[in-house]
Amino acid sequence: MKNYKIAIIKGDGIGPEIVDEAVKVLDAVSAKEDFELNYEEYLMGGAAYDVKGVPLPDETVEGCLNSDAVLFGAIGGEKWDKLPRELRPESGLLRLRKELGVFANLRPTQVFDELVDASTIKPEVLKGVDLFVVRELTGGIYFGEPRAKEENRAYNTMVYTKDEIRRIAKIGFESAMKRRKNLCSVDKANVLEVSQLWRETVEEVALDYPEVSLSHMYVDNAAMQLIRNPRQFDVILTGNIFGDILSDAASMISGSIGLLASASVGGKVGLFEPIHGSAPDIAGQGISNPIATILSAAMMLRFALGEVKAADRIEKAVKNVLKDGYRTKDLSSLGAKEVCSTSEIGSIIADYVAKI
């Protein structure tokens, strides 16, 4: 029997309760697919600061690096907002990504037929949407030097090397090969030299993937097209700041941030997490939606462990649970047969996983 070591970081706010449900589902699917998951819990974020005085203890970094994958809930909250920047929960997450060496953020957006009315966008625009954003995570303007804030001016630097572009482009094309073989590279090559290098390098990498249809789109047009006609997209490949904005825009297509998973990969160990925050205002009430974390666990099985059948089983279970009318409070107005607590929806999905 195959055995995997999983680092668990529950984090702050609703993090512990949503991760608990993902583990419940993982246990159900591992029993059916004949592999074993061994979990070790570690601290990060505000919870780590309260105990250790830092947002990312060294033992968490070491534990994650010695694992096959990291499953993470959420961090942050007003309690820690006034700390110096280096001690805030978010700084712990940025450092963990750096320590793990992850450089590609993967965000799928799929519209479930049963929830097509959840978005503010017309159902006829959304039906059948299934897109995948590949965002470069460790370069670009967020990390470029020099950067400074002076009394009367401030500046940042947008930098990409050819090697950085090439490695993220390969992940984009590999993703497209596993899907519908269409890749749209998003840049601003009409005004930015860094985007001109981006486009040139993506076109060079495309030569190794003749089966993939490559197109280019300026980021402002891409933002408009995501809302106007999101069905046109299969895989979207883009840089850090553009990907940050476009992936959040894409999240509105699904109508609920509580449904959207993500993966950060490409380095030593992959990091898998829901895209939503820690929602401290509802923590402990049993009303948070764990589906995004459960789907992040499915991504972990698919991309980190190679357990594709197990990932498929979880994703099918989630779809069937929604089809049968089970909803958490955030989705209760959308054809709910039964409104479930956080724990109840996790148990129902685990049961469906076992029956598939």
Q: Which of 52, 142, 181, 218 is catalytic?
A: 142
Q: Which of 170, 248, 312, 316 is catalytic?
A: 248
Q: Residues for the chain: how many in total? A: 356
| Active-site residue, 188 included | yes
Q: Which of 244, 312, 316, 319 is catalytic?
A: 244
| Active-site residue, 142 included | yes
- Count other Cβ atoms within 10 Å, centred on residue 258: 23
| Active-site residue, 355 included | no
* Nearest alpha-carbon partner for 241 in 222, 261, 268: 222
| Active-site residue, 187 included | no
Using CA atoms, how far residue 193 sits from 20, 197, 236, in Å, is: 46, 6, 20
Residue 185 corresponds to which amino acid? Answer: S
| Active-site residue, 330 included | no
Q: Where are the beta strands (DSSP E) in the chain?
A: 2-11, 35-42, 69-74, 104-110, 130-136, 148-149, 154-155, 182-187, 213-218, 235-238, 261-265, 270-274, 326-328, 338-340
Close Cβ partners of 7 (under 8 Å, ≥ 6 residues apart): 39, 40, 42, 60, 63, 64, 67, 69, 70, 71, 269
Rounded Cα distance, 166 and 170, in Å: 6
Q: Which of 81, 220, 281, 324 is catalytic?
A: 220
Q: Which of 188, 234, 329, 352 is catalytic?
A: 188
**Residues identified as active-site:** 142, 188, 220, 244, 248
